[in-house]
Amino acid sequence: MVLVGTPPSDTDGERGLLRRARTGDPAAFRVIFERHSPAVWRFLRDLLRDEAAADEATQETFVRAHSRLGALRDEDRVGSWLLGIARHVYLESRRTRGVHVDVADEEHAHQVEAVLPTPSPEDLLLDQELAGLLTEALGMLHAERRAALLLRIDHGLAYEEIASVMGWSLPKVKNEIHRARLRLREQLAAHVGGGRP
Amino acid sequence: MSTCRESELDALLAGELAPEDASRVRAHAEGCAACKHALAWQRLERGWMTQRARRELVRPALSFSALEARLAVAQKAPAPVRHARREGQWRHWGKMAMAAAAAVAFVGLSLPRGGAGVGVGVGVGTEEPWSRELIVATGVEACEDAAAALEARVGACLIASPVLALRAD
């Protein structure tokens, strides 16, 4: 790989970086990596629930992304494209490791909405204990449902982008995210609205 | 909003709605206890996820130099998929060659034997070598080169060809 032109900076737009990376500019790909790898790693860690496995899967995601830079059509969606690759890496990793730890994500939608407390502003503070409980509650969700929810509330993807990443219809995306939210709230209800121990 | 839709509230918080849709959803949520409740939870979830993301420590594995080393290995390594495809192609050609050999053998063995023109076919003595005329008339000669080439390729005699008997003569 050979450096081309002026070095890219963190403020360069995604399109420009992508074009430079496609010409073989490693500095441009480096900026893309440094910009997106924390989110990709976090997504993979939340799916795999294993930090070392997430390290490996993140590297694999970017190796694949590097070889497929030319395949990205929508240059404004580098983030969701990378998360889509990451999801495939996760699925392969799960198959390879033979891990299938999804819990029975039973539906209690009707009851949940009735008993959930209303959060207060004080609840916004995520202390160490609550952060642990949040991670645990996310882990209780079915993996695919968890992925969809995280793509929305953690990574800020639009519903259409999530549909593309997950290979789902738009109504399914909305439905799955809604169910995931209710399940998550059910898990955390005891720690919200003055209900903290 | 005729019915409460969490995805619309979510889109409102994310600033994804057009101004008129945002006004409509906001107006509905102000008078709907269920939507107010859902909005409060959504704000909480967003706040938590933001704090969670900010607290993530930098992972050593996320250094670009580690990735560069891996990219270099990936670029040098041969693509395993291509090998698989080639193997598949060779297997395919092997099957084709075997099928062709079987077809040639079938033609060779099922051709009538005996004198040219008269009495060709059923009832002709099986031990008699084929005449040159019969070979020309049935077009077997045209197959001679192809059969020989095929045999040379697989390195074995594939058929008990009458042409070989003629050659011996």
Domain CATH number, residue A170: 1.10.10.10
A79 within domain boundaries = yes
Together in a domain, A120 and A68 = no
Together in a domain, A30 and A91 = yes
Any A CB within 8 A of B63 CB = no
**Helix, strand, or coil here: A127?**
coil
Query: What CA–CA distance (Å, rounded) separates A96 from B55?
Result: 31
Task: Mark yes or no for CB contact B64/A33 under 8 Å.
Answer: yes
Q: Is the ipTM of this complex over 0.90?
A: no
A196 within domain boundaries = no
Any A CB within 8 A of B70 CB = yes
Any B CB within 8 A of A26 CB = yes
Residues 6+ apart with CB under 8 A from A14: A32, A75, A76, A78
Query: What CA–CA distance (Å, rounded) separates A192 from A155?
Result: 23
Together in a domain, A83 and A115 = no
Residues 6+ apart with CB under 8 A from B30: B36
Q: pLDDT tens, B95-127?
A: 677 777 777 776 666 655 544 433 333 333 334
> Which tokens go with A160?
């259409």
Indicate whether B141 pLDDT > 90.
no
pLDDT tens track, chain A, 197 positions: 444 456 666 556 888 889 999 998 999 999 999 999 999 999 999 999 999 999 999 999 999 999 999 888 888 889 999 999 999 999 999 888 765 555 555 555 445 555 778 887 778 788 888 899 999 999 999 999 999 999 999 999 999 999 999 999 999 999 999 999 999 999 998 888 765 54
User: Is the distance from CB of A159 to CB of A170 less than 8 angstroms?
Assistant: yes
Together in a domain, A43 and A81 = yes
Say if residue A54 is exposed, middle or buried (CB neighbours under 10 Å; 0-12, 13-18, 19+). Answer: buried
A103 within domain boundaries = no
Indicate whether B155 pLDDT > 90.
no
Most A CBs within 10 Å, among B43, B48, B57, B82, to test the A interface = B48
A104 within domain boundaries = no
Contacts of B57 in chain A (CB under 8 A): none
A29 within domain boundaries = yes
Rounded to the nearest integer, the mean pLDDT of chain B is 69
User: Is the distance from CB of B56 to CB of A154 less than 8 angstroms?
Assistant: no
What's the domain count of chain A? Answer: 2
Task: Mark yes or no for CB contact A185/B41 under 8 Å.
Answer: yes
Most A CBs within 10 Å, among B62, B63, B70, B76, to test the A interface = B62
> Which tokens go with A3?
């450096």
Together in a domain, A120 and A187 = yes
Together in a domain, A116 and A180 = yes
A141 within domain boundaries = yes
Q: pLDDT tens, B27-57?
A: 999 999 999 999 999 999 999 999 999 888 7
A74 within domain boundaries = yes
Task: Mark yes or no for CB contact B7/A130 under 8 Å.
Answer: no
Indicate whether B129 pLDDT > 50.
no
> Which tokens go with B116?
């040219």
User: Is the distance from CB of A148 to CB of A166 less than 8 angstroms?
Assistant: yes
Together in a domain, A124 and A80 = no
Asked which of A56, A76, A97 is the last residue of a domain, the reply is: A97
Indicate whether B13 pLDDT > 80.
yes
Together in a domain, A48 and A78 = yes
> How far from B93 is each of A117, A167, B90, CA to CA, in Å?
69, 37, 5
**B7 → closest Cβ in A55, A118, A159:** A159
Query: What CA–CA distance (Å, rounded) separates A91 from A85?
Result: 10
Asked which of A55, A70, A97 is the last residue of a domain, the reply is: A97
Identity at A164, one-letter amino acid code: S
> How far from A170 is each of A30, A159, A176, A183, B17, CA to CA, in Å?
33, 7, 10, 20, 16
Query: What percent of the residues of chain A are helix, what percent strand, and what percent coil, each to the nearest 5?
Result: 70, 0, 30
CATH number for the domain that contains residue A28: 1.10.1740.10
Any B CB within 8 A of A181 CB = yes
Together in a domain, A117 and A182 = yes
| Domain span including residue A161 | 109-191
Any B CB within 8 A of A133 CB = no
Lowest mean pLDDT among B11-20, B68-77, B125-134: B125-134
Residue in A87, A104, A98 with CA at minimum distance from that of residue A44:
A87
pLDDT at site B93: 65
Together in a domain, A75 and A127 = no
Task: Mark yes or no for CB contact B46/A153 under 8 Å.
Answer: yes
A127 within domain boundaries = yes
Residue in B130, A24, B101 with CA at minimum distance from that of residue A5:
A24
Indicate whether B64 pLDDT > 80.
yes
